[in-house]
Amino acid sequence: MIMRADIKRFPPPGSTCAVSAAADPCTIVIFGASGDLASRKIIPSLYRLYCRGLLPERFTVVGAARTPHTHSSFRALTHEAVMKFDPGDFDTSLCESFASRLFYRQVAYDNIEAMTALGAYLDGVELEAGYQGNRIFYCAVPPALYPVIIGGIGEAGLDAEARGWTRIVIEKPFGESLESARALTASLYRYFREDQVFRMDHYLGKETVQNILMFRFANAIYEPIWNRQYVDHVQITASETIGIEHRAGYYDRAGVVRDMFQNHMLQLLALVAMEPPARFEAEPVRDEKGKVMNSIRPFDPAAMGANWAFGQYARGIVGGESSRGYREERNVLPDSITPTFAAGVFHVDNWRWRGVPFLLRSGKRLSAQVTEIAVHFKAAPHFMFDRVMHDPIGPNVLVFRIQPDEGITQGFYAKMPGSRLCLQRVNMEFSYREMVGMTALDAYQRVLLDCMSGDRMLFVRQDSVELTWALLDPVIDIVGGMGLPELYASGSDGPESAKRLADKYGRSWRPLGNDHIMKGVQ
């Protein structure tokens, strides 16, 4: 057994950015523990938290799924997952010590007797570990199984909090429409209070996303100009080079609007647009995000083309290799009209943002993987260089890079050595990767730790879920009746209709890919 003193502390002792370990002993029950999500994300993240000394002194992980496994075979599966998905700094002794806290139960989710037996098993495991109560139920299963598992937990009495707290974690999508989202909430509220429900959007756990609020409200030079008087427009981009991989069963029903806009994209918009909360705590922050959602102008179904563009990837070249089209993907219907790209223009009708367009786009099989928020400030009102410069001077742009290289870039213009009239755009850079001695928690580690600590700031509240579905349901309905979206070549920046959409508002999309190269102005 590895003693806690032997575990690597994170951050190192003396760091000014200490991360507090979860204090309460707890049991983490992973429904769907034999599946892909548990292997790729949840188990490696828990292992990394353990290695950094951030898990409680006493904890137990119980895998629960329909697949038959023994404790030993489940621990072997865990070892393989850590080796495959988190090979950095792998430590055999630590992995074995971590695995000793893992157990497995084969469970039929819709069988009340089996769920009741799971509860009795948890009681025994906790008693042997020296604590009772405090449980997290993590639903790492397809969304269709959420109500089944929630009902099983409730009917078996596992939601009781007589000996400690109980929390349930579900990942997006939180329903497929406003109606289904409300039905999911009703099933949750039958057994759980809202403060027990942790709706996880892993984008919100990324360091740069968390840094948006810190950057805005801790730096006095930005907050006074963070409004319609100084900001021309905001672009939010989430582009991927990959296709749908093995998710055809889900994606061909969902499409890009359900998959990306209802959660990731609108959560990012809310963080950029929200007002300063009275306190930096979960509920005040989420209150302000809700106000932004309430302020977004509804879309007119009769004028959808003025605000949206849709596309579907066709054959092309990605990363130097030939790529097939969406309709050629395995398990995709040959006549599918599911959009894999969408661009939309959103308007936040409040005092701060009235008249400032928010341009959002997301798509698959594009030329680069990039997720960023670009705040375009208005150009200077008077250019004294107009008569002597060949090219116009562009506006200042502040970019929050969310992935793959997390950081912040502020572009501005400065005179270069030499000619009296030689201006060049230069960047002030902040990069997490380049910070000496700082290795950030990844998104899953962050949200798992917050769930154990009971911090709900990075989790989505039900009012935001319903507001975003109410906003996007009409868009999804219109898309379903539009026929085949415009085809775009894999490896491109998306369909031409997206460019035309931006042109209608007198703006241009930022090129996908690395925009850190300094561009000279002659």
Q: What is the pLDDT of residue 93?
A: 82
Which of 371, 415, 414, 413 minimizes the C-alpha distance to 394? 413
Q: What is the DSSP letter of 296?
A: B
> What pLDDT score was predicted for residue 178?
95
Residue 14 pLDDT greater than 60, yes or no: no
Position 36 pLDDT exceeds 50: yes
pTM (two decimals)? 0.90
**Domains of the chain, CATH where assigned:** 4-11+22-171 (3.40.50.720), 204-438+461-521 (3.30.360.10)
Q: Which residues contact 229 (CB under 8 A, 6 or more apart)?
A: none
CA 199 to chain centre: 11
Active-site annotation holder among 79, 202, 264, 376: 264
**Region for residue 224 given its phi and psi (left: phi exceeds 0; alpha: psi -120 to 50; beta: otherwise):** alpha
For residues 429 and 181, give the distance between their C-alpha atoms in angstroms, rounded to a whole number: 40
What average pLDDT does range 77-102 have in this prediction? 81
How far is residue 468 from each of residues 106, 209, 252, 267, 378, measured CA to CA in Å? Answer: 37, 19, 21, 9, 29
pLDDT at 89 over 90: no
Q: What element of type H or E holds 323?
A: strand 321-323
The answer to which of 299-303, 375-379, 383-387 has the lowest mean pLDDT is: 383-387
Per-residue model confidence as pLDDT tens digits over 242-299: 998 888 888 988 899 999 999 999 999 999 999 999 998 889 999 999 999 999 999 9
Sheet with 407-415, strands from edge to edge, namely 486-489, 308-314, 341-347, 357-363, 231-239, 370-377, 397-403, 407-415, 423-431, 520-521
Long-range CB pairs of 329-333, under 8 A, 24+ apart, other chains included: 329/243, 329/244, 329/248, 330/246, 330/248, 331/248, 331/249, 331/252, 332/244, 332/248, 332/252, 333/252
The arithmetic mean of pLDDT across residues 8-27, rounded, is 67
Return d(Cα 251, Cα 495) in angstroms, integer: 19
Assess contact for 426 and 446: CB atoms under 8 A: no
What b-and-e string marks burial along 499-509, b requiring 16 or more CB atoms within 10 Å of the CB?
eebbeeeebeb
What is the end-to-end Cα distance of the chain in Å, rounded? Answer: 66
Question: For a pLDDT cut of 70, what percent of the chain falls above it?
Answer: 89
The pLDDT confidence band at residue 199, using thresholds 50, 70 and 90, is very high
Q: Which of 70-84, 336-350, 357-371 has the lowest mean pLDDT?
A: 70-84
**pLDDT of the residue at 138:** 97
Q: What are 115's two structure tokens?
A: 């769920």
Assess contact for 443 and 206: CB atoms under 8 A: yes
pLDDT of residue 371: 93
**Among 106, 200, 185, 199, residue whose Cα is nearest residue 147:** 185
The DSSP secondary structure of 101-112, one letter per residue, reads: TEEEEE--TT-H
Please check whether residue 268 is in contact with residue 373, taking contact to mean a CB–CB distance below 8 angstroms: yes
Q: What is the model's pLDDT at position 294?
A: 96
Residue 352's pLDDT is 96
Q: Identify the top-confidence range among 80-84, 294-298, 392-396.
A: 294-298
| Paired tokens of 224 | 């006074």
Per the annotation, the verdict on 264 as an active-site residue is yes
Mean pLDDT of 127-153: 93
Any alpha helices (H) in 190-278, and if so which ranges? 207-218, 248-256, 266-273
Q: Which of 123, 106, 105, 118 is nearest to 156 (CA)?
A: 118
State residue 131 phi and psi, 5-degree precision: -150, 165
pLDDT for 240 equals 95
pLDDT, tens digit, for every residue of 469-480? 999 999 999 887
> Dihedral angle at the C-alpha atoms of 122, 124, 130, 135, nearest 10 degrees?
10
Question: Strand, coil or helix: what is 220?
Answer: coil
| CB-CB contact of 220 with 286 (8 Å) | no
Task: Look at residue 137 and tell me whether its pLDDT is greater than 70.
Answer: yes
- What residue ranges in 117-223 does DSSP mark as E strands? 135-139, 166-171, 197-200
Stronger pLDDT, 181 or 1, i.e. the higher one: 181
Distance CA 414, CA 396 (A): 12
Mean of per-residue pLDDT scores for the chain: 87
> How far is residue 422's CA from residue 452's CA, in Å, rounded to a whole number?
55
CA distances from 273 to 213, 295, 330, 406, 463 (A): 10, 10, 40, 20, 17
Element (H, E) at 129: helix 112-129
Mean pLDDT, to the nearest integer, of 444-467? Answer: 92
Q: Which of 319, 299, 291 is nearest to 360 (CA)?
A: 299
Average pLDDT over every residue of 11-22: 61
Q: How far apart are CA 103 and CA 449, in angstroms?
A: 20
